[in-house]
C-alpha cells in the first residue's frame, strides 16, 4: 500500500513539473511578437537600431519572468517536493 502511495506521489510531482512548463508558451509568443515588431521597426528606420535593440532586450527579459516562475516551480517539484512529501507521508503513517 505504501509503495503505491509513494508511486502516486512521485507521479504527481513529475506530471506537475511537466504541466507547469506549459507556461513556457506565453513568453515564447510574447517574445516572438516583440522581436517581430523590433525587426519591422529596424527595417523602417535602420538608424534607430541601437535604441530598439536595447529596449527589445529589456522587454524580452521582462516577458520572460512568467516562464521563469514556471521553471522555478518545476525545479522545486522535481528536486525538492518528492523528499518533502515522502517525509510527510512517513510521519502520517508513523
Partner 1 sequence: MQYKKAGTEFKLVDAMLVIMMIVPIVLAILMKVLFIPVGEGIEITGAHVYTVLNMPVSDLPISEAQVNSLAVLISILFLCLYMTHGIRAHVYTKRAVLAEWAVEKIEGLVKENMGDYFMGFAPFIGAILLLSAFSSLSSLVGLFAPTSDLNVVAGWAILVFILITYYKLKCGPWYYIKGFMEPIPLMLPMNIIGEIATPVSMTLRHYGNILSGTVISILLASALQAASNLVFGNLPGILGSFPFFRVGIPAVLSIYFDLFSGCLQAFIFSMLTMLYVSTSFPMEEYMRRKSLKEKNN
- Give the footprint of partner 1 on this chain (CB under 8 A): 57-58, 61, 64-65, 68-69, 71-72, 75, 79
Q: Which three cell numbers stand for residue 47?
A: 538608424
Q: What is the Cα–Cα distance from 20 to 22, expressed in whole angstroms?
A: 5
Q: What is the Cα–Cα distance from 48 to 41, expressed in whole angstroms?
A: 8
Between 5 and 10, name the residue whose CB sits nearer to partner 1.
10
Q: Residue 22 gets which letter from DSSP?
A: G
Between 40 and 54, name the residue whose CB sits nearer to partner 1.
54
Provide, rounded to whole angstroms, the least separation between the CB of residue 92 and partner 1.
Answer: 27
Provide, rounded to whole angstroms, the least separation between the CB of residue 42 and partner 1.
Answer: 19
Q: Which three cell numbers stand for residue 73?
A: 516551480
Amino acid at each position: 500500500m505504501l509503495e503505491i502511495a509513494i508511486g502516486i506521489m512521485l507521479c504527481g510531482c513529475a506530471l506537475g513539473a511537466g504541466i507547469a512548463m506549459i507556461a513556457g508558451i506565453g513568453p515564447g509568443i510574447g517574445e516572438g511578437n516583440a522581436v517581430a515588431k523590433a525587426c519591422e521597426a529596424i527595417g523602417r528606420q535602420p538608424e534607430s537600431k541601437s535604441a530598439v535593440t536595447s529596449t527589445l532586450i529589456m522587454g524580452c527579459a521582462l516577458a520572460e519572468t512568467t516562464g521563469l516562475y514556471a521553471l522555478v516551480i518545476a525545479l522545486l517539484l522535481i528536486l525538492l517536493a518528492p523528499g518533502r512529501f515522502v517525509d510527510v507521508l512517513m510521519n502520517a503513517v508513523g
